[in-house]
């Protein structure tokens, strides 16, 4: 789901705008922009922003302008870094309306503050006479400041927008790219040294390493996009065999991500559960068409063939290295909470969380879609069916989270493709039903675990006949069970 413009945008804009205005008031002095070299740094920043790298899955772009802005802040002072960061990063893509104006303003504010504050930290640490190591410490701390202001504000904005704990976005928007930012700090040092030794010409020559870094970003993203394309191609190959399930894998992935977001999963786990949801039924590619498209109930033998698809799918996707835990989720998405699922009969928490999420997403989309053997159900009917099987087939905690999502208009309209969400009273009624079903299932499971009372020993007739005929002496007059009345042995 694409985020809508929310009041948190304006809250962040106000906070960053106040910081931006205060920084400009206390650091800006007339005449800073009269030196031609300042405009040289500005031009290189514009050029770097004009060559962005598209991030996978349409998550935006990234450029290599950070070392240029940081170098400008070191050479000419924090105010110039503030100016270059604020306005040199304005690209044609942003001016063309592709990015909403609120996003454009937020980027200007955060990048301006990042460029200015990184210069302040550098100058505070790299004091004269502090030793040879001080400049390197100042570079690292200044670069870290730039990174924290830039990536931290993005993480905070996303956390407020999606109502997900800040740490989830810190892991993806900060911890992941941190290595790349730190790797660009030596380039900043080289650019500053080149400018001080040769002038602007030397600075322009060292723009070439940034182009190499950009090419590395592009290669990484191209590899990642090729993986995504491969996953989509596998899902399309399966769905091409059955018109009734067209789009099912895509919808399961989207529903799984929506449920994972409600459970506050981190962004990298959300992406993984979406990919695993897309591939959850890939093993059905080995199921014969006569079984896959059968319009009546499957026979016992046919069900046995169908139940092999999680194992086959696991064998296919285990070679896709970047899926990581998603490989196990594909294998276990038909496991059930009470241990009656397949292929391994896992119980409760031993079923991976991703597999439990995909199980609910798979079931819901199946109930809301037309199939060869039945028509689609209404959302109320599907949600009630889910609630009735809470604690038996599905994880009760996940069932309750999904039922609450059924009252969210945006999730229901955009992800479930249903006309209207459930009314609040219906959501509470279904949650109560789910809790009752889970309690009954837990009580039944507890009763099964209690030791049964000892049963009296019973012997089968053949055993009794064997004992009696072997141990009773002939002529004793004792009748052997099972023999005709009056008949004696011996």
pLDDT at 7 over 80: no
Q: Residue 104: which of 66, 159, 142, 60 has the closest Cα?
A: 60
pLDDT at 374 over 50: yes
Give CA–CA dist 28/325, Å, rounded: 52
* pLDDT score of 470: 44
Q: Residue 293: which of 364, 245, 236, 234 has the closest Cα?
A: 245
Set out the domains of the chain in order of their start, with CATH numbers.
7-224 (no CATH), 241-447 (1.10.3210.10)
**Reported confidence tier of residue 147, pLDDT bands at 50, 70, 90:** confident
Of these ranges, 10-19, 30-39, 297-306, 461-470, the one predicted with the greatest mean pLDDT is 297-306
Kindly state the average pLDDT of the residues 118-144. Answer: 81
Q: Within 13 Å and on the Cβ side, how many CA atoms surround 15? A: 11
| Residues 121-143: b if buried by 16+ CB within 10 A, e if exposed | bbeebbeeeeeeeebeebbebbb
Give CA–CA dist 449/426, Å, rounded: 35
Kindly state the average pLDDT of the residues 39-49. Answer: 87
**Reported confidence tier of residue 486, pLDDT bands at 50, 70, 90:** very low
* pLDDT score of 54: 63
Which pTM does this prediction carry?
0.65
Lowest mean pLDDT among 144-158, 436-450, 465-479: 465-479
* pLDDT score of 478: 42
Lowest mean pLDDT among 248-252, 316-320, 435-439, 460-464: 460-464
**Reported confidence tier of residue 206, pLDDT bands at 50, 70, 90:** low
Kindly state the average pLDDT of the residues 96-110. Answer: 83
CB 332 within 8 A of CB 346: yes
Kindly state the average pLDDT of the residues 83-91. Answer: 89
Kindly state the average pLDDT of the residues 380-391. Answer: 94
pLDDT at 406 over 50: yes
pLDDT at 53 over 70: no
The DSSP secondary structure of 15-48, one letter per residue, reads HHHHHHHHHHHHH--TTGGGSHHHHHHHHHHHHH
* pLDDT score of 459: 47
**Reported confidence tier of residue 485, pLDDT bands at 50, 70, 90:** very low
Give CA–CA dist 216/239, Å, rounded: 35
Q: For all residues of the chain together, what is the average pLDDT?
A: 80
């Amino acid at each position: 789901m694409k985020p809508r413009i929310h009041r948190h945008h304006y809250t962040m804009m106000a906070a960053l705008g106040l910081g931006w205005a205060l920084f400009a008031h206390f650091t800006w002095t007339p005449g800073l922009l009269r030196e031609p070299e300042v405009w040289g740094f500005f031009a290189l920043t514009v050029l770097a922003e004009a060559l962005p790298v598209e991030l996978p899955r349409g998550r935006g772009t990234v450029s290599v302008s950070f070392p240029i802005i940081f170098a400008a802040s070191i050479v000419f002072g924090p105010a110039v870094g503030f100016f270059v960061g604020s306005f040199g990063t304005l690209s044609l893509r942003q001016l063309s309306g592709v990015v909403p104006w609120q996003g454009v303003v937020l980027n200007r504010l955060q990048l301006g503050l990042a460029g200015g504050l990184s210069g302040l930290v550098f100058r505070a640490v790299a004091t004269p006479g502090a030793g040879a190591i001080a400049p390197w410490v100042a570079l690292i701390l200044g670069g870290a400041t730039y990174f924290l202001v830039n990536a931290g504000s993005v993480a905070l904005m996303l956390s407020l927008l999606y109502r997900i704990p800040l740490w989830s976005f810190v892991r993806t928007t900060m911890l992941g790219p941190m290595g790349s930012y730190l790797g660009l700090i030596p380039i900043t040092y080289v650019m500053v040294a080149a400018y001080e030794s040769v002038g602007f010409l030397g600075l322009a020559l060292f723009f070439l390493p940034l182009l190499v870094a950009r090419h590395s970003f592009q290669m990484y993203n191209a590899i990642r996009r090729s993986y995504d394309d491969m996953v989509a191609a596998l899902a399309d190959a399966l769905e091409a065999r059955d018109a009734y399930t067209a789009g099912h894998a895509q919808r399961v992935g989207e529903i799984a991500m929506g449920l994972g977001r409600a459970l506050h999963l981190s962004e990298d786990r959300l992406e993984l559960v979406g990919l695993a949801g897309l591939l959850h039924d890939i093993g059905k590619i080995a199921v014969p068409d006569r079984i896959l498209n059968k319009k009546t109930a499957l026979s016992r033998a046919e069900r046995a063939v169908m139940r092999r698809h999680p194992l086959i799918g696991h064998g296919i996707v285990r070679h896709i290295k970047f899926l990581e835990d998603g490989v196990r989720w594909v294998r276990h998405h038909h496991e059930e909470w009470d241990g009656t699922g397949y292929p391994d009969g896992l119980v409760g928490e031993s079923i991976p969380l991703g597999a439990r999420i995909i199980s609910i997403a798979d079931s819901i989309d199946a109930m809301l879609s037309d199939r060869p053997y039945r028509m689609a159900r209404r959302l109320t009917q599907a949600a009630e069916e889910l609630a009735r099987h809470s604690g038996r087939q599905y994880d009760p905690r996940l069932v309750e989270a999904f039922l609450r999502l059924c009252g969210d208009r945006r999730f229901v309209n955009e992800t479930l493709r249903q006309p209207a969400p459930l009314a609040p009273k219906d959501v509470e009624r279904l949650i109560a039903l789910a809790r009752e079903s889970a309690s009954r299932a837990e009580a039944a499971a507890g009763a099964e675990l209690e030791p049964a009372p000892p049963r009296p020993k019973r012997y089968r007739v053949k055993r009794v006949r064997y004992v009696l005929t072997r141990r009773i002496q002939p002529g004793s007059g004792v009748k052997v069970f099972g023999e005709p009345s009056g008949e004696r042995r011996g």
